[in-house]
Amino acid sequence: MNTQRLLNAYTWIFLAFMFAPLILMVITSFNDVSPPSVTDWRGLTGKWYAFFWMAEADIRADPVLRSLDRDRFIGCFVNSLQVSVVVVPLSLLLGLSGAVLLTRWRSRANGFLWWVLLSPMLAPGIILGLSALVFWGRLGVGAGLFTIMMAQVTFVAGYPLLILMARLQRQPIELEEAALDLGASPFHVFRRITLPFLLPALLSAAVIALLSSMENYNTTMFAKGGACTFATEIGAMSRNPNGHPPVINAVGTVIIVITVVAALTHAVLTRREAR
Amino acid sequence: MRDLVRSFGKGLTSVFFAAVIIWALMLIILPQLTMLEKALTKPLRQLDSSIAGGLERDAADCANILGQYTEPTEGAISTGGLAVPSASGMAVPSMSGMTSPTMNNTVQRPYILQCDRSTTRRQLVRDKGMAAFLDQQYGLPRLSVAADAPIDKQIAVAREIEAIAAGLYIRLQAAEASESQLGLDNFATIGKPVLIPRSAEAQAVSDADLSSKVLTMIGLRYSQDGEAYQRIGLETLTRTLFFAICATLLALVVCYPIAYKVALATSPEKAVWLMLGLIIPYAIVELMRIYAWTSIIDNRGLINELLLWAGAIGEPIQFKRSALTVFVVIVYTYVLFMVFPIYNVMSTLDRNQIEAARDLGASTRKLHWRIVIPHSKPGIAVGCIATFMLAAGAFSVPRIISRGLQSEWFSQTIYNKFFEVNNSNVGAAYSLAYTVICFVIVGLFMWIMRTRLKDFARVQ
């Protein structure tokens, strides 16, 4: 089995390629040097993490951290949360409506609806941000958090749409029919049968919508005006002429740890369920 | 429709319809139509009325500055620091009287930009080779503020120009409001050639470049009368699409074996862990995946330090200046969008089919060509489309990696048009043209691969 061994080796190389930059990121977040470096080791430090809770005076004493604006950073993160609080429920509602119409509505407009609703997922993200900016500007709404929300909902709603459609197509329609025949009102059927059936899909769609809203950079950059979000603020730090501060690597490490823990928990849970 | 009402009731059905209509109209269709309108509208500052308005402001500024200057002292003349930037800074500079008046001994005032620009012979924005001036076009008297006239005379002329320009501005604005300003000019700017000022040596170095030769061959670069011209917009567009297609092909070649390995060549228990290895880098925030590369490709990053230590190079290689680096990071960032669609379709293939083919003596190549690839075609198509669109629309990667040290991606060009030179009409034209081109490429690809849009729901 020579090809098998080759394939194994290739898979390992691929995984190494995917993980090596991330591992370097974790290492650099503990190195006491800015810009982050692995080759120039100046000793272990936790100050890139401590930045978020250390005293104001300590920050001012540090030559690198001094130039960073912690309050702005936290403010931008709060903005991101505000945006996703609107974007996630809204995109779940739009995605659910779209999924119901696309699976159940037998009409000639169906094909057209497919194209319209899926086009934001296909279009380059920058175009969605720009068109939201221009459109709402025309209506007299200035660029800011509102345009960010609108621009994000446009494509984020596509994820619940696809996830819920996959689930709806597998729904046993007999259950619904039986309930209707037994005299349940359609709303009652929807609340007691369809929604519980969709619940797992709704939850995973909500998680995906939340993540894509938080991490979105391309669309947000174009719609943001003077506002900022978590992603744009992180992106803006790359403009630092001396290279970006390792604080970003610390944030990245936290994100990596959260992701790994979440993925592991998910895998373990699904395995236990399978048994 | 009747089915819908029967299963969901009138109330819910109307909520669903309302939500979808709002989504489609307010978030997708109307914004694109507004973009189209903006793209077809002439930029405001190019209109004749804007130029007349600019002249009015310049003349008023000139008269005001001269008014403060009626009692000149010796010191004021020599400092000459009275030039105030005009509010209409974007107006076309006047073509007459550009020789510095301060050189002249008979000069009555220091150099004042606004006064130099206060002339009715102001150039209008017209197509190339068709010069037009305000005074000719609208039958104005030819007036300008002469620097050697007495100050009070100058003020009088400036006031006169101001009054004429103000009248013309109102007249033109009324006329422009009633006629349509739509046109395709903004789209034409994408292909507009731009003069590149270069020394002969720099030109020779640039010509020797392979990419330059190719670009010359397809007509995006040319030289005329010893001057080099580039169609910069079109060149950036071509380069971006070329790199995006390359990234897609590379991702396909890289990912196909991985998807096969996880879906079909591993026992299901092991496959769970392999999947985990793919999901973790996929789920990590996109920006962080990009930042992770900076410590590798920095001038004092991992690669350079290793090469320096090994003595292979004497000076760090400037990876940030190379378009290839952006290409590699784009592949790294978006490669996993190729794996999952292919994996999802491939894992539905019955493993017995592979066993059967092997038992019947099929070679590995034949096995893939006749069984695995045909089965996973929808996944391959969706993966290619997703990767292509992400790579073509990439904005974060070139922005963070290159930091403006190298030639732009088209998404950056659009950004600059909107936010740096403030020409949103041209920017809208660029972004619309870009969307259309990308959709045409995707549509062609879907037609060739016989993919339908419904495959997206099946594969994701």
Residues of A in contact with B4 (CB under 8 A): 100-101, 104-105
pLDDT above 70 coverage of chain A, percent: 99
Encode pLDDT of A146-191 as tens digits: 999 999 999 999 999 988 988 888 888 888 888 888 888 888 888 8
- Contacting residues for B259 by C-beta, under 8 A, at least 6 apart: B339, B342, B343, B346, B376, B379
- Residue, of B445 and B205, whose pLDDT is higher: B445
Encode pLDDT of A12-37 as tens digits: 999 999 898 899 888 888 888 777 87
Q: Does residue B392 carry a pLDDT above 80?
A: yes
- B22 has a chain A CB within 8 A of its CB: yes
- Is A94 close to B265, i.e. CB distance below 8 A? no
- A243 has a chain B CB within 8 A of its CB: yes
Lowest mean pLDDT among A20-34, A145-159, A195-209, B218-232: B218-232
Kindly report the CA angle at A70 between A68 and A73, in degrees rounded to 5? 100
Among candidates B1, B7, B30 on the partner chain, residue whose Cβ is nearest the Cβ of A135: B30
Chain B closest-CA separation from residue A56 CA (Å)? 27
Q: Does residue B69 carry a pLDDT above 60?
A: yes
pLDDT above 90 coverage of chain A, percent: 22
The residue with tokens 């009325």 is B49
Encode pLDDT of A71-100 as tens digits: 888 899 999 999 999 999 999 999 999 998
- Contacting residues for B150 by C-beta, under 8 A, at least 6 apart: B108
Name the DSSP class of B209: S
| For range B197-224, the mean pLDDT | 74
Q: Does residue B416 carry a pLDDT above 70?
A: yes
pLDDT at B107: 61
- Is A24 close to B24, i.e. CB distance below 8 A? no
Chain A closest-CA separation from residue B239 CA (Å)? 16
- Residue, of B455 and A260, whose pLDDT is higher: A260
CA dist A38 and A21 (Å) reads: 11
Provide the CB-side half-sphere exposure for B67 (13 A, CA).
Answer: 10
pLDDT at B460: 57
| For range B11-24, the mean pLDDT | 89
pLDDT at B80: 43
Encode pLDDT of A104-128 as tens digits: 888 888 888 888 888 888 888 888 9
Helices B424-449 + B377-392 axis angle, to 10: 170
| For range B54-80, the mean pLDDT | 68
pLDDT at B74: 47
| For range B285-300, the mean pLDDT | 84
Among candidates A18, A36, A106 on the partner chain, residue whose Cβ is nearest the Cβ of B3: A106
A-facing residues of B in 418-457 (CB < 8 A) are: 418, 424, 427-428, 431, 434-435, 438-439, 442, 453-454, 456-457
The residue with tokens 């020779």 is B204
Residues of A in contact with B458 (CB under 8 A): 166
Residue type, A71: D
pTM: 0.81
Greatest mean pLDDT range, B127-136, B291-300, B325-334: B325-334
B265, A7 Cβ separation under 8 angstroms = yes
pLDDT at B181: 67
Q: Does residue B245 carry a pLDDT above 90?
A: yes
3-state secondary structure of B123: strand
Of the pLDDT bands very low, low, confident and very high (cuts 50, 70, 90), residue B104 is very low
ipTM summary value: 0.88
pLDDT at B404: 64
CA dist A62 and A52 (Å) reads: 14
pLDDT at B249: 94
Handedness of CA A31, A48, B326, B204 (dihedral sign): negative
User: Which pair of structure tokens corresponds to residue B287?
Assistant: 């920006």
Handedness of CA A135, A141, A142, A145 (dihedral sign): negative
Average pLDDT, rounded, for chain A: 87
